[in-house]
Amino acid sequence: MTSEKMVSQIKEWLNEAAGYIQVSLTNKLTVSQKSNRTDLVTNIDEEIQAFFIKKINQHYPNDRILAEEKGFDTIDSLKGRVWIIDPIDGTMNFVMEQENFCIMIAVYEEEIGQLGFIYDVMKDELYWGGKNQGVFLNEQRLTPPKDVGLSEGLLGMNAYMYGKNIYAAGEIGHASMGIRVSGCAGVELIAMLKGSHIGYISNLSPWDYAAGLVLLNEFGYQYSNIEGKPLAFANREYFLAATPTAYTQILENFIRR
């Protein structure tokens, strides 16, 4: 089971990793392409992931790990205890803007999210929480946002989905108060936790959403793949999360029509 000790350890690891990242921004990054010129990885992504893996192996040697880089990007199941890590979510932002990126860590036990951490490194804002524990910004407990409909709020959106109207993303965006595109799943999930966005539609991998799901659960948000089916925690998939009212409106009026 997760514990206060584990929470404290993860916070310490995040602080140490964030300090390393901030120092790295004063040095030259080594940037490589993965699948295409806009799918980037840096030496810092790989080093931060290796740092977390070393810590987990030292303290929890029987646990398993799913992470974005270096051959850790697949897992056969979420049985047992699994750590899901995105060392730098929003690598393009990290490289080009040096802000609007996050570290994300989740702990799942027997397929159920137990702990989630989303750390906006440059703002020094850690959104974290756990199953039946609530959601916190640093050490301040947050209150759940209001459940409002699609026409009453802003949506985080994947730019390509919006531009190509994939799964009616363009129409959904027009039906909302407007869309926002940050290029970072962690930033978008934070916006939902703050109540400044009512939902998020994108194309994500498990490490992009695992930590956020733990926190969204605590606030009663609904989430699934874009067709309303459970998320697979394997490969990339179209992702939908929103307030209960907006989620139902999106599925019934745009996806399943």
Instruction: Report pLDDT digits (tens) over 177-215.
Output: 999 999 999 999 999 999 999 999 999 999 999 999 999
Domain boundaries, given as residue ranges, for the chain? 4-141, 150-255
- 61 neighbors 81 (Cβ within 8 angstroms): no
pLDDT at 32 > cutoff 80: no
- 212 neighbors 119 (Cβ within 8 angstroms): no
Classify the C-alpha dihedral 190-191-192-196 as positive or negative.
positive
State the Cα–Cα distance between residues 88 and 97, nearest whole angstrom: 13
Top CATH class, 4-141: alpha beta
State the Cα–Cα distance between residues 134 and 70, nearest whole angstrom: 33
Pick the CATH number of 150-255 from 3.30.2310.20, 3.40.190.80, 3.40.1160.10, 3.40.50.300: 3.40.190.80
List pLDDT tens digits, range 87-146: 999 888 888 888 999 999 999 999 999 999 999 999 999 999 999 999 999 999 999 999
Instruction: Report the DSSP pairing between strands 81-89 and 64-67.
Output: parallel
- 200 neighbors 188 (Cβ within 8 angstroms): yes
Query: pTM of this prediction?
Result: 0.93
- 197 neighbors 154 (Cβ within 8 angstroms): yes
